[in-house]
Amino acid sequence: MRHSKESAMAKVYASEVAMRGGEGVQIHGGTGTSRSTRRSGTSDAKITEIYEGTSEIQRLVIASALLKE
């Protein structure tokens, strides 16, 4: 059984949540990218929108699956 729709939904959601954390890095400037702060990992959040397929492609997968239902 394939779960393309569900996995695409999870990928879009996770990448959007990660990008919200990345906004904090922009607010805090250089301090946000320092390895000595708690915010250090959020600077890499942008790659989550691209890594497993762009969010736009994932949304197309979701829409296609919904239309087939």
Q: What is the pLDDT of residues 14-53, one digit of tens each?
A: 888 877 776 766 776 666 555 555 554 555 666 666 666 7
The second-level CATH assignment, the architecture, of 4-68 is: Up-down Bundle (1.20)
In 3-state terms the chain splits into helix, strand, coil percentages (rounded to 5) of: 80, 0, 20
Domain ranges for the chain, please list them: 4-68
How many residues appear in the chain? Answer: 69
pTM, two decimals, is 0.61
The per-residue pLDDT for 6 is 94
Does 23 qualify as catalytic in the annotation? no
Among 6, 16, 23, 52, which one carries the catalytic annotation?
52
Question: Predicted confidence band at 9 (pLDDT cuts at 50, 70, 90)?
Answer: very high
